[in-house]
Every structure is written in structure tokens, then in C-alpha cells.
Structure 1
Amino acid sequence: MQTFEHTTVLLEETVDAVLPRDGGRYIDCTLGGAGHSERLLNKSAPSGLLLAFDQDTSAIEHAKQKLQAYEGRVQFVHANFRHIAEEASARKFTDVDGVLFDLGVSSPQFDEGERGFSYRFDAPLDMRMDTRQTLTAADIVNKYSEAELARIFFQYGEEKFSRPIARLIVRRREERPIDSTSELADLVKAAIPAPARRSGPHPARRVFQALRIAVNDELGALEEALQGAFQVLKPGGRMAVITFHSLEDRIVKHAFQALAQGCICPPDFPVCRCGNVPKAKLVTRKPVVPSAQEVEENPRSRSAKLRVIEKL
């Protein structure tokens, strides 16, 4: 079994946000390296229960070993977290005290070159979090239209050179398929003007992020998961979500605001006619971010933001 080393971000802040207690019931929608799961189980001892989701079988196998001491208190679910409501219901694991999400790709997925998530390794263009699905990054790069590629790069990667990158990809794939991470990274670099790539992160970073999001339908899955997670929470239960880029954070922020919103009648109405009442309250008005010390120790935590909501 491959190693699955992952530094958990905002560990104490996130676990404490869902108020772990003895006998509580919790769902970790992003098992990953099991850091949050382990702390949740520890802080809800001796009888707290956990349902843990992950699309990645290697993460689940690693977690089974790491969490052996908590056998009988944790169930593992190999599924996309968009199915949280159905999977929790099937296991009679509803009316839970807390749900948490740690979004993005786990460090091992970046660091295992053969997964194809990173431009740092020469590997097949894959990027599937769940290897049971058929769509890969190579399929998108080689089959999608120039206009659709440009849209993906701009919308999901906020790449301002999305059009010239898409144009060069289409021109190159007419000669031969583009099937490796290094070839794609070189194409992206060639399509971006030299002055724009002299500083900042690797020029392919935004394109690789966009492809990963598209391959795994991450934003669509997140929207569904937030609704499902709120559905399985009991009144007084809390949901905590860590995001790593603006697209995710915007979805979480707007979903939480909508749940916490009361009357939506025009301000000149003398009395409320909509009947809309808040379904939740915002625990964090502004997102919690990592301390300077955590960022220094784990640079990947730099863009993390934690938002928390409580069901009424």
C-alpha cells in the first residue's frame, strides 16, 4: 500500500467548530489523510461515532490502518461526498451533530506522480479522484472544442490567457494526442507571453487546477454536498468547510448566507409576506484563516479559509 502522508490544515479550529462531544455523531466528507477524522474520534470519545467519505481507495485503506484504535466507532464510505444524504440515510446515520469538509486535493494525490494531478511530474494526464469514473484530463484536452477548453481554463482556473492556450492545444493535438502532464505544461508555457511567466507560480498551475475541477465536477459536487450535509444535520448541529480557492469559497459563502437569510420581501413592505425564516445562523461572519506559524510550517495552507454554520 502506498504511503499517504498529508498535513491537516486548520486541524483544531475545524474540529472544535463542530463541538465534538462524547456520544456525538459526525461526518467527515473528505477523509484524506484522516487527520480531522482522528481528532474528531479522539474528542468525541469514548462513544462518539463517525461516518467518513472519500473517493480515493488509497485514502480509505490508509485510514483503516491509522484509525484501528477506533474500530467500531467509524464507518468508511467509498463515494463522492455529493451523495452524502443518500449514503447517510442508507446507513441510518442522520440527525448528526457535525459535518466537516476539507476541500481540494490531498498532498499524496499531488505528490504521487502517476495520478497526473501535477505538472511537477511526467505522467499520464489522468486527474481522476475516483478511478472508477471514465472521464480523464486527457479526454478533455484531446476531445473538447477550443471554445469549451478556453471556458474551462477561464472559469475554473481564472486563466487570463485561456484562449491562446486552448488554441495552441487544438493545433498541437491535430498532429498527435496530448497525453502527458509534461507535454501539456510545456504547451501552456509556450502559449503564455514571456513577460507574464517571469514571476509568480508555474504558468501551468491555473490550467491544471481548472482541468482537475472539470474532470471531477468539483464545484457541482460541492453545491450538492452542501445541501445534502445540511439535510442530515440535526437542529443545533454544525457544518464546517475549509476551502482553498475563490471559486469554492464563493459557493460556500453564498450557500451559507442563503441558509441564514430571513425575510426577502422588498424593504418598503410594511409586513413580511414571504414567510422566509432563517434555517441556520452563521458561526463565522468572516472566514477563519491559518496562523502565520501554520503557513510557515505548511505553505499549502496559505489559501485555506474556514466557514462554519449552525442549523436552527
Structure 2
Amino acid sequence: MHIPVLLDETITALLPQPGGVYIDGTVGAGGHAEAILRASAPNGRLVGFDQDQQALAISAGRLATFGDRVTLYHANFDQLEQVAKQINIPPVDGILLDLGVSSMQLDQPERGFSFREDAPLDMRMNPAQGQSAADLVNHLPQDELANLIYQYGEERLSRRIARAIVQARPIERTQALAEVITKATPGQGRKQKIHPATRTFQALRIAVNDELGALERVLPQALRLLKPGGRLAIITFHSLEDRIVKQFFRREAQDCICPPEQLICTCGHQAVIDLINKRPITATATEIDVNPRARSAKLRVVELKRV
């Protein structure tokens, strides 16, 4: 069963109100969306997005009881502004983005996100679009593959792993790839807390779905869609995502972004948001016991400045 991460903290941060309009950019199985709709009863509205058609089908069933208070779209969250204009969504009271792969996707072996069970090496959140992980693994030049694994997986053994992958091509299945990576990892590395293939699988998933690019594109869109006093809440699961969110929020929360050595401001930049939490909100020990995925979750929240 899918358990929404940081659920109480997210609802507290977004402050859903009756009559409010909210966007869930990663509706998934609908856990956060359901809580937002309940908290904004009787007439709060929610627009949900997900690029995973299977997830949308599940959330549609879960949220059916809310009737026309909820509208779902099969789209990546980097299309928020485009869809909002098409359907005339007014400035919204709150936006939620719950990033990364969901436990529901990890629990579907045929999607190829995990090496726990053998499956085709796919990893596409929208299986109808783009290259699969197998395409990247089998066709990228060795140097490009190494750079991808290092950049998106922060894997220090990226060159060794890329060389082993190229030598073992073609690789079409998850456990075959995990075995190649494990064999390429020195004995000391195999004793780490995480599986030797974890970082490489993360890197491939991020690349296949352009996760960081989509995040960078959606952040300014989200601020433009908020009404004054509206809130944006983002849950991240690894340092690459969190760094992008933290730096964007920090930049948009300050007036001057000139280099520190420049004594006179010439940028003209003005703060447009207030940081609701200067440090990220993390899961309690109790939540982590129930849902281990919450261990790495970080919630950052900002509010669009009031006029």
C-alpha cells in the first residue's frame, strides 16, 4: 500500500481552506490529494497532474468520492502553466510537488525501476515517451555513460562501472545490470549499507525521465501560478533535487543577488517569496518506522509575498 510521506507536515504547511484552489503536481496514488481535499471541504478544488497513466487510474478511483472538486491530467508537472492557461485555472492557494519515484512504481517490477526483482530495464514514468534505461545503457558512449552515473548518481566509481557496462553489452534486464555493477565494485564497496547498484539505478532513472530538468522548469512556473499568500511545498528525496529547490528558494527570497564583492546593487532583483521553514522538515522516527522511504524525505515550503 502507498503511504504518503510527511502527510501531516505537508497539510500543515499548505493550510488548505474551504473554497481554496490547489495543485498536486505529482498526484500519484492520491494520498496527499485526498488529505488536501478533506482539509479544504466542502468546496475546495484540486487539480492533479501525473505523467504515469497507471498512477492516475489509481488516484481517479481513490478521489472519485470528491466528484467535480477534483480534476486530473496526464501530464508532467513541468506543463503546469500550459495546462493552467488552457483550462483557466485561477491563481491558486497552494501547490505540492512530491518528487522522485513512488513506492507504487518501485513495487511494480515490470516497470524496471528496481533491481529487487528481474524485469525489463525500462524506468520510464511515462512508458509511452522517450528512451528507456536499456536504450541509454546499450547505446551511450562509455564517457557519456560514466558522466551520467557520476552526475546523477554521485557515484565515485562511475568510470569503472561504465567500463564494465560497455564490456557486458547488451544488457536488457534489471538484475543483469545490477550483477554487472556489483562485479565491478571492489570488495570494500560491496559492504556499504546500500546495494552497489543503487546510485547507478538512480542516475539512469533521473536521466530517463529528465527529472532535474523538469524540476528546474517547474519552479518559476509554480510561483507564477500562486496567488499572493499562496504556498509552494516540495518534498525531495536526494541531495540533487534538494540542492536545486534550496538554491531557487534562497534566490527568490532575497532582494539583491549581485556577487558579494559588488558593493552597489545593479541586479534590480526583488524578493517574491518568504521562506516558511529555513531548514527542511524531515520525518519523525515514528514515521520512518512505518514507512522507511520517509527517511530521506525533506520538505521545503515558501509563501508568495502578499501585495
Question: Could you tell me the TM-score, scaled by structure 2's length?
Answer: 0.96
The residue correspondences of 1:238-249 to structure 2 (distance < 5 A) are: 238-249=231-242
Shift of 1:277: 1.5
Deviation readout 1:256-277 (Å, 9 max, x if unpaired): 1111011235668786544322
For 2:11, which of 5, 15, 25 is the aligned residue? Answer: 15
The residue correspondences of 1:1-312 to structure 2 (distance < 5 A) are: 5-173=1-169, 177-265=170-258, 272-312=265-305
Give 2:23's aligned amino acid: I
Deviation readout 1:131-190 (Å, 9 max, x if unpaired): 1103100000000010011011111111111001100111111xxx21000110000001
Aligned pair in 2 of structure 1 residues 183, 265: CA closer, same or farther (>3 Å)?
closer
Q: Which runs of 5+ in 1 are unaligned?
A: none
SS at match of 2:296: coil
Quick one: distance in 2 between partners of 1:165 and 1:209? 14
Q: Which runs of 5+ in 2 are unaligned?
A: none
Shift of 1:197: 0.6
Question: Which stretch has the larger CA shift, 264-273 or 237-246?
Answer: 264-273
Quick one: distance in 2 between partners of 1:17 and 1:183? 43
Shift of 1:108: 1.5
Shift of 1:63: 1.0
Quick one: distance in 2 between partners of 1:35 and 1:78? 17
Quick one: distance in 2 between partners of 1:210 and 1:117? 11
Would the aligned equivalents of 2:130 and 2:208 in 1 still touch at CA under 8 Å? no
Shift of 1:245: 0.3
Question: Which stretch has the larger CA shift, 237-246 or 82-91?
Answer: 82-91
Question: Which stretch has the larger CA shift, 228-237 or 35-44?
Answer: 228-237
Deviation readout 1:94-115 (Å, 9 max, x if unpaired): 3000000111111111011100
Would the aligned equivalents of 2:287 and 2:294 in 1 still touch at CA under 8 Å? yes
Shift of 1:15: 1.8
Give 1:307's aligned amino acid: R
Give 1:205's aligned amino acid: T
Quick one: distance in 1 between partners of 2:161 and 2:261? 50
Question: Could you tell me the TM-score, scaled by structure 1's length?
Answer: 0.95
Would the aligned equivalents of 2:119 and 2:173 in 1 still touch at CA under 8 Å? yes
Quick one: distance in 2 between partners of 1:299 and 1:233? 32
Aligned pair in 2 of structure 1 residues 266, 28: CA closer, same or farther (>3 Å)?
closer
Count of residue pairs the alignment pairs up: 305
Quick one: distance in 1 between partners of 2:241 and 2:263? 37
Deviation readout 1:175-233 (Å, 9 max, x if unpaired): xx210001100000011101211231111111100000000000000111111111111
Give 1:152's aligned amino acid: L
Shift of 1:129: 0.1
